[in-house]
Amino acid sequence: MIIQQIIGNKVTHPVDGLEIDLLEIEWFETTKRIQRKNSNSGMEIAIKFIQEGQRLHQDDILYQDDKKVVLVHIKPCEAIVMTPASLLEMGTICYEIGNKHLPLFIQDDKIMMPFEMPMFRWLEASGYFPEKQELQLLHLLKSNVAPHGHGNTSLFTKILNIASSND
């Protein structure tokens, strides 16, 4: 099955009475324009978005017939979560993380990002109070730098690991 556009979202497009089949993806796969995956029931799905900047969201409908619907499910992952005490603190944290070109998520008045120990330690050393939690990263802050995954390490982590191994 080739998917070139999203049909809708479960929030606004009712799917009552239909068998729900999930296409589970990682947070960094939400921005990929081309990918091939299998749904939980084994349905092979090839996503090929024509429109630049299109991304997948939790509960997006990729396929629907009279019996079944395929929904996007973003898998939970380890994340750094911070609750800023003020708007100034939120802006400062977002600036510092964005300055490192790392993906940032804003949910429920909290700042979140995929967990990386060097970044966690840096935030602690800078006087912030990060927490490590397992959750879904759903609301990617739009930026001019597209996030991507290479395992679970960013360029920032690789540089810090190289620097610490030279000590």
What distance in Å separates the CA atoms of residue 13 and residue 150, rounded to the nearest whole number?
Answer: 34
> What are 106's strand-pairing partners?
111
Predicted confidence at residue 95, as pLDDT, reads: 87
Q: Are 97 and 43 contained in the same domain?
A: no
SS3 of residue 31 by DSSP: helix
Number of domains in the chain: 2
Q: Are 8 and 70 contained in the same domain?
A: yes
Predicted confidence at residue 18, as pLDDT, reads: 93
What distance in Å separates the CA atoms of residue 5 and residue 139, rounded to the nearest whole number?
Answer: 20
CATH for 96: 3.30.70.790
Angstrom CA distances, 20 to 1, 5, 10, 78, 97, stand at 16, 19, 11, 26, 37
Task: Determine which helix (DSSP H) or strand (DSSP E) holds 106, and give its type and residue range.
Answer: strand 105-107
Final residue belonging to a domain, choices 57, 74, 91 = 74
Q: Are 114 and 78 in contact (CB under 8 A)?
A: yes
pLDDT in tens, the chain (167 residues): 888 889 999 999 989 999 999 999 999 999 898 999 999 999 999 999 877 778 899 999 999 999 999 999 999 999 999 999 988 888 888 888 888 888 999 998 899 999 999 999 999 999 999 999 999 999 988 755 544 444 555 555 655 566 566 55
**What domain range includes position 142?**
77-165
Q: Where are the beta strands (DSSP E) in the chain?
A: 2-3, 8-9, 19-25, 34-38, 44-48, 60-64, 68-74, 77-82, 105-107, 110-114, 131-135
Q: Are 159 and 81 contained in the same domain?
A: yes
Question: Structure tokens of 65?
Answer: 């017939």
Amino acid at 27: W
> What are 74's strand-pairing partners?
25
Amino acid at 117: M
Final residue belonging to a domain, choices 34, 51, 74 = 74
Residue among 70, 72, 67, 36 nearest 55 (CA): 72
Q: Are 112 and 135 in contact (CB under 8 A)?
A: yes
Q: Are 28 and 103 contained in the same domain?
A: no
Question: Structure tokens of 20?
Answer: 């729900």
Predicted confidence at residue 147, as pLDDT, reads: 47
